[in-house]
């Protein structure tokens, strides 16, 4: 976070808000991530493009944004997630711009947002939704940032890791809540985290499960407890051609039999 604040201060000088607001995409309408995930005819998969991560290091440094993201959508992804952090994830704003030119589906800008500038910036590069992280931004700031984002036509996905973060943000006005199945302290991953928190997230908020989903059966289990969105990145990006891995996953998902409840 300390590094991000320095980075933002530099960007504000190079490209002030007045310039961001003049971009063509700033005036363009957005596409609803929430609506896309609630569409029962779609997969609910948010396919992510990321080159590296703090926990795994380099994942895929050769995949192209346009080919990969277009392939994701052709395979049946409901939306895209694009990492724009450079130092820790190897992304940049240009990745969102490229993905926007290649696709019409909702795009989530995945970033460590700690300043209102980044929200305006997200709109200017063609994003449809932003990520806020409850472990980083306090509930009052989540509410403040959400209002700004929504005033620009952006939707807000709040990432949580535990029950305390969920309960502290129930009145924040966010559009979606994403449960990160990765423990930030140990890096251990388990979809049990999503299952455990499902019941305390109101049905009025679209639920997304993030991290650790590596097979179609896991998605079916999460659907049964109310999840509409499933964010998958590494499971695709670790392959030489992520878009093909995505298509194979989608094919397998279409063959999974729904769980019968008593």
Residue 196 CA to residue 177 CA, distance in Å, equals 14
Q: Is 9 exposed, middle or buried (0-12, 13-18, 19+ CB in 10 A)?
A: exposed
Q: What is the DSSP letter of 185?
A: T
Closest CA to 118 of 105, 102, 131, 107: 131
C-alpha dist (Å) from residue 127 to 28, 100, 211: 10, 8, 21
Residue-wise burial string across 235-245, b where 16 or more C-beta atoms lie within 10 A, e elsewhere: bbbebeebbeb
Ordered by start, the domain boundaries in the chain are 2-253
Burial (CB count <10 Å: 0-12, 13-18, 19+), residue 229: buried
The DSSP result for 88-105, as a single string, is TT---HHHHHHHHHH--S
Contact 253, 219 (CB under 8 A): yes
Catalytic residues: 48, 50, 110, 159, 180, 210-211
For residues 111 and 92, give the distance between their C-alpha atoms in angstroms, rounded to a whole number.
10
Per-residue pLDDT at 187: 79
SS3 86: coil
Which residue bears the tokens 């309408």?
29
CA dist., res. 43 & res. 254, Å (int): 9
Q: What is the pLDDT along the chain (262 residues), one digit of tens a residue?
A: 899 999 999 999 999 999 999 999 999 999 999 999 999 999 999 999 999 998 889 999 999 999 999 999 999 999 999 999 999 999 999 999 999 999 999 999 999 999 999 999 999 999 999 999 999 999 999 999 999 999 999 999 999 999 999 999 999 999 999 999 988 777 789 999 999 999 999 999 999 999 999 999 999 999 999 999 999 999 999 999 999 999 999 999 998 866 554 4
The CATH code that applies to domain 2-253 is 3.20.20.70
**What pLDDT score does 262 carry?**
41
Q: What's the rounded Cα separation, in Å, for the pair 149 and 153?
A: 7
How far apart CA 251 and CA 245 sit, in angstroms, is 10
pLDDT of amino acid 259: 57
H or E element, residue 209: strand 206-210
* 99: Cα separation from own chain's centroid: 14
């Amino acid at each position: 976070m300390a590094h991000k604040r320095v980075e933002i201060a530099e960007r504000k000088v190079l490209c002030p808000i007045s310039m961001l607001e003049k971009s063509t995409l700033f005036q363009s309408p957005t596409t609803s991530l929430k609506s896309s995930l609630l569409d029962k005819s779609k997969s609910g998969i948010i396919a992510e493009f990321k080159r590296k991560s703090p926990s795994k290091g380099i994942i895929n440094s050769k995949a192209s944004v346009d080919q990969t993201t277009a392939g994701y959508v052709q395979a049946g992804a409901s939306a895209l997630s694009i990492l724009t952090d450079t130092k820790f994830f190897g992304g940049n704003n240009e990745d969102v711009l490229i993905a926007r030119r290649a696709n019409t589906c909702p795009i989530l800008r995945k970033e460590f947002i700690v300043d209102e500038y980044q929200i305006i910036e997200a709109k200017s590069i063609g994003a449809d939704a932003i990520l806020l992280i409850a472990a980083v931004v306090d509930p009052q700031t989540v509410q403040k940032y959400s209002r700004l984002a929504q005033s620009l036509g952006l939707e807000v996905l709040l990432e949580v890791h535990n029950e305390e973060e969920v309960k502290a943000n129930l009145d924040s006005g966010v559009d979606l809540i994403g449960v990160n199945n990765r423990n930030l302290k140990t890096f251990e991953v388990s979809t049990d985290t999503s299952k455990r928190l499902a019941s305390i997230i109101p049905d009025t908020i679209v639920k997304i499960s993030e991290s650790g989903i590596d097979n179609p059966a896991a998605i079916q289990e999460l659907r049964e407890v109310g999840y509409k969105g499933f964010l998958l990145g590494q499971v695709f990006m670790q392959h030489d051609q992520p878009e093909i891995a995505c298509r194979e996953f989608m094919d397998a998902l279409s063959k999974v039999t729904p769980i019968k409840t008593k």
